């Protein structure tokens, strides 16, 4: 908490430009010394390069320069998350692509399930939540939900973001989600990682040209409540511009279908969306660990790396 407050203080005293210069040094440090993160970045970029769409996106075979670019994008993402949390967003411009879906749902008082990935900045949803009076409950695998909520409140007493702790194999999470949806609120989760404590059998899909395993649990949850399911993301376009987008994966799931089939259909639609984003903005997928190897062994706890945190909504 002290480190987070220090960074926010530096930003308030010295401004964005000075902090962005500091970010280059931080990115270089991790690119040189964080061997696991550097190796994982290289594997991801090489996986992209192996696809025709990835070659068009990257332009050249991945090397150290591309890895540094990838890690630098992550560092800017973390910095801008702190800026968003502290309420200082005057220097950042936001564009919308399909976000009207969320605004319409908020105005009509309908709850929805928001599913994102570790792409761009999911925390930028906070700006939309406050501006359009939407309440977003973020599901996280963490024991620190209370502390995180306190941190949000201290930075901005009017924040409409709340963190809900996921308790594996407990009905408590499902009841909390049901209450949020019934109140017309949004529930969000990032679903592109398999949590080490997950007990469901992962589903294997072809993702970026490789067999990849995804957890089905978030999509089983989404398929349970019969509300709209929306893929959301906020991608950085340039130094001062973010683009938020929302794509409805399903307006209403056919209740006659078995729940697992409903969840599987949602997962496949979701994987296609994040794959398209990887090809569009290849340096903004932030999973800095051996993604394909760990997906094959979801039960095995892993040491924390840059970009791999406890939270389901950020590294």
Rounded Cα–Cα distance for residues 100 and 30 (Å): 38
Nearest to 232 by CA among 81, 103, 110, 130: 103
Distance CA 114, CA 122 (A): 10
Based on C-alpha coordinates, what's the Rg of the chain? Answer: 19
List pLDDT tens digits, range 129-157.
766 778 888 887 665 545 655 665 565 65
Q: How confident is the model at residue 87 (pLDDT cuts 50, 70, 90)?
A: low
Q: What are phi and psi of 263, to 5 degrees?
A: -65, -40
Q: Does residue 94 register a pLDDT over 70?
A: yes
- Confidence at 5, pLDDT banded by 50, 70, 90: confident
Mean pLDDT of 168-193: 84
pLDDT in tens, 150-173: 665 565 655 556 777 776 666 777
Alpha carbon separation from 135 to 8, 125, 129, 206, 232 (Å, rounded) = 24, 10, 6, 34, 15
Q: Give Dmax (Cα) for the chain.
A: 58
pLDDT of 122 over the 90 cut = no
Q: Would you list the domain boundaries of the chain?
A: 2-295
Q: Are 49 and 62 in contact (CB under 8 A)?
A: yes
Which pLDDT score is estimated for 72?
95
What is the model's pLDDT at position 198?
A: 61
Q: How confident is the model at residue 280 (pLDDT cuts 50, 70, 90)?
A: very high
Q: Of the segments 27-41, 79-93, 103-117, 213-227, which one has the largest average pLDDT value?
A: 27-41
Distance, in Å, from the CA atom of 54 to the CA atom of 281, rounded to the nearest integer, reads 10
Percent of the chain at pLDDT > 70 equals 76
What was the pLDDT predicted at 310? 41
CA-closest candidate to residue 122, choices 99, 106, 138: 138
49-58, 61-70, 141-150: range with lowest mean pLDDT: 141-150
How high is the pLDDT of residue 155? 59
- Other Cβ atoms closer than 10 A to 23: 18
Tokens of 48: 């992209």
- Predicted TM-score (pTM) above 0.85: no
């Amino acid at each position: 908490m002290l480190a987070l407050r220090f960074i926010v203080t530096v930003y308030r005293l010295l401004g964005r430009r000075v902090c962005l210069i500091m970010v280059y040094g931080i990115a270089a440090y991790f690119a040189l010394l964080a061997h696991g993160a550097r190796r994982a970045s290289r594997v991801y970029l090489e996986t992209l390069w192996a696809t025709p769409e990835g070659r068009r996106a990257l332009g050249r075979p991945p090397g150290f320069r591309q890895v540094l670019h990838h890690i630098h994008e992550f560092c800017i993402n973390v910095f801008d998350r702190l800026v968003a949390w502290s309420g200082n967003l005057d220097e950042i411009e936001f564009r919308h692509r399909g976000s009207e879906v969320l605004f319409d749902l908020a105005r009509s008082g309908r709850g929805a399930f928001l599913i994102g990935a570790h792409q761009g900045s999911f925390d930028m949803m906070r700006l939309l939540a406050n501006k359009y009076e939407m309440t977003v409950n973020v599901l996280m695998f963490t024991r620190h939900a209370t502390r995180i909520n306190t941190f949000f409140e201290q930075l901005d007493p009017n924040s409409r973001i709340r963190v809900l702790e996921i308790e594996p194999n407990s009905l408590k999470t499902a009841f909390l989600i049901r209450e949020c949806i019934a109140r017309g609120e949004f529930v969000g989760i990032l679903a592109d990682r398999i949590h080490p404590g997950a007990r469901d059998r992962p589903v294997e899909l072809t993702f970026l040209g490789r067999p990849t395993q995804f957890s089905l649990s978030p999509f089983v949850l989404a398929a349970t409540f019969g509300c709209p399911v929306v893929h959301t993301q906020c991608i950085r376009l340039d130094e001062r511009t973010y683009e938020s987008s929302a794509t409805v994966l399903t307006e209403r799931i056919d209740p006659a279908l078995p729940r697992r089939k409903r969840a599987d259909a949602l997962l496949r639609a979701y994987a296609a969306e994040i794959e398209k984003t990887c090809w569009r903005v290849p340096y903004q997928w932030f999973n800095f660990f051996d993604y394909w190897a760990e997906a094959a062994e979801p039960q095995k706890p892993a040491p924390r790396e840059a970009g791999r945190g406890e939270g389901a909504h950020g590294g």
